[in-house]
Amino acid sequence: MVTLHVFSAKPNPFWMINIKQIIPMKNLVKKMLNDNEKRLLPINSTRTVGYQGFTISCSSDNEIFIHGLNSLENQLLESGKSYLSKTIIEHVSENLGRSLVSTNYTSLTRINCDLVPIKGSDKVPIFSPQTENGGCFVKKQSANNCYAYGTNIVTNTYPQPGRYSGTQLSAITCETVRKAAVLDGLVYYGTNLPVDHPKSGHFVALLLWPNIDYHWIRKDATGFWSHKPGTGAVTNKDNTGSLISNPSVSNGYITGGKDGKVILWDPEFKKNIKTYELTNKNLASDSRGLLTEEETSKTSIRAVTLTRRIFVGTNRGEICEIEKDGRIRICVQGHGEGEMWGLSTHPNKYEICTVSDDKTVRIWSLQDRRMIRYKIFKNLLRTCEYSQSGKTIAVGTKDGHFMILNEADLNIIVSVEHRNQEVSDIKFSPNDRYLAVGTHDNFVDIYNVETQKRVGICKANSSYITHIDWDANSKLIMTNSGAKEQLFYEAPRGTRITSIKTTDVEK
């Protein structure tokens, strides 16, 4: 009898072979042994999810497990093609010769594993196959599958979801298997990967090979996941031998690029398992912020890692977490490329405005600690300032221009291009009638906000302007420059005043 080890939850397919089929296989094995290809392994030595190998047996005490001998495995697969579906045949053909992870355990207890059911503790399980449940998942390895191990109950019946409640699976879909498990007493948690452990019991995850097979995997106290692939040994590793931190993306690689897409690949980089696109339409409702998208270019991926979650770093200052269903959460967000010089606090709300060389104006909620809106402009931005009413925001650029924006939607109300060098400071007067704009041209220009015209220029500074301040009556401007000057001007005309001393300034 030949048994194909390929399923985790369902019983593995088997078929009988005749003497005509056995003779060429025996000759092939003899040749391999003569060539020192001694890779015939005992049945309990190696298991993974998916194709694992073949067993040839004459009786329960006389069987041999075969894996890694491609010529012989091909003959065994050929002998069973009339018993197997096209999907299974293709899967086995693709995985012949793939390396497997060896797992050997010996039970360390003397409990009678025939006295079933043997239930584990209600606490979160610790990965210890030798002692857990009396070591019976080791002693009765072939009689218990992934569902038995996932629920932490030794039954020795190769249990199936729904059998305990008297239900039979009508199909192998997420919905039918989930419902059958709930009828058995499991509690449905949802599709989000749990971060912590439940107060009672433990988490299990259902993985599906649609219409073919399903697999259960459980979360242990370490935060990693373990499983029992079919009749194989319990393991806490995936097909590559890695610890399983995220069952939905285990056993693969993750990449990201300038197209804003994150792709999960199979271990051989041959199959695109899933594609995630970084767009605001895919943001989860509890995301802390917004992606700074542009119509002409997408968010570029700068860094990506696959741990218990998929984490992505972008060219625009976001660190994002991606769930297996494609929902995106922004964990941390800041400005992107270049320097950030501009910051202003809202006069009435717990909000701030920031600008930087990444050409974005961003409004942040200090209470929620997240970006609540943004806008991208053509120029590098260097400074910003709320008006006293909080209804408008003045923004200065690195090439000497400035804009006044509507605070509610960040649309431009007015744009002025009088200077050529960067705007280093910008300030509304306390009465909101005037706007002072200091630049690296060594000037401070004073504008009437209502008429949008320049009404004065402060010209006496010998170096670039670093800071501007108004007096409480909106009639006096104080400036600092790169030459460490502190000069005073009358507003709005910009006439220099020399009678004021530094000691006269409020501190």
408 compared with 39, residue with greater pLDDT: 408
Q: Hey, what are 164's tokens? A: 């305990």
User: Phi and psi for 374 in degrees, rounded to 5?
Assistant: -160, 165
Four-residue CA torsion sign, 127, 133, 136, 142? negative
All CATH 2.130.10.10 domain ranges in the chain, comma separated = 340-497
SS3 label, residue 78: helix
**pLDDT > 90: percent of the chain:** 48
pLDDT at 505 over 80: no
Nearest-angstrom CA–CA distance, 218 and 244: 10
Nearest by Cα to 372 from 398, 405, 350? 350
Q: Select the highest-mean-pLDDT range: 99-113, 140-154, 248-262.
A: 140-154
pLDDT at 308 over 60: yes
Nearest-angstrom CA–CA distance, 466 and 442: 9
Nearest by Cα to 370 from 441, 284, 486? 284
pLDDT band at 103 (very low <50, low <70, confident <90, very high): low
pLDDT band at 249 (very low <50, low <70, confident <90, very high): low
Going by C-beta distance under 8 Å and a sequence separation of 6 or more, which residues neighbour residue 18? Answer: none
User: Is it true that domain 340-497 has CATH number 3.30.450.40?
Assistant: no
Pairing state between β 53-59 and 62-66: antiparallel
pLDDT band at 476 (very low <50, low <70, confident <90, very high): very high
Q: What 3 state SS string does 442-473 have?
A: CCEEEEECCCCEEEEEECCCCCCEEEEEECCC
Going by C-beta distance under 8 Å and a sequence separation of 6 or more, which residues neighbour residue 92? Answer: 4, 6, 51, 73, 77, 84
Contact 407/362 with Cβ under 8 angstroms?
Answer: no
pLDDT at 102 over 70: no
Report CA dihedral (364, 366, 368, 370) to the nearest 10 degrees. Answer: 30
Contact 242/251 with Cβ under 8 angstroms?
Answer: yes
Long-range contacts of 199-207 (CB under 8 A, 24+ apart): 200/122, 201/122, 201/124, 202/123, 202/124, 202/125, 202/152, 204/150, 204/151, 205/247, 205/248, 206/174, 206/177, 206/178, 206/181, 207/49, 207/247, 207/248
pLDDT at 506 over 70: no
Alpha helices in 264-345 (DSSP H): none
Nearest-angstrom CA–CA distance, 243 and 307: 10
State the pLDDT at residue 188.
93
Nearest-angstrom CA–CA distance, 423 and 419: 8
pLDDT of 16-43, one tens digit each?
888 778 777 777 766 665 654 444 433 3
The mean pLDDT value of the chain amounts to 86
pLDDT at 317 over 50: yes
Amino acid (1-letter code) at residue 360:
T
Q: Mean of the pLDDT values across residues 280-299? A: 82
Of 154-168, 300-314, 330-344, 345-359, minimum mean pLDDT range: 300-314
Nearest-angstrom CA–CA distance, 398 and 87: 61
Nearest-angstrom CA–CA distance, 59 and 446: 98
Nearest by Cα to 423 from 403, 393, 405? 403
Instruction: Give helix 19-34 / helix 70-79 axis angle, nearest 10°.
Output: 170
State the pLDDT at residue 460.
95
Cα separations (Å) of 429 from 57, 168, 389, 410, 478?
Answer: 92, 77, 11, 21, 12
Nearest by Cα to 308 from 263, 249, 262, 222? 249
294 compared with 315, residue with greater pLDDT: 315
Q: Mean of the pLDDT values across residues 129-144? A: 90
Amino acid (1-letter code) at residue 78:
E
End-to-end CA distance of the chain: 95
Nearest by Cα to 438 from 430, 448, 447? 447
Q: Mean of the pLDDT values across residues 350-377? A: 94
SS3 label, residue 174: helix
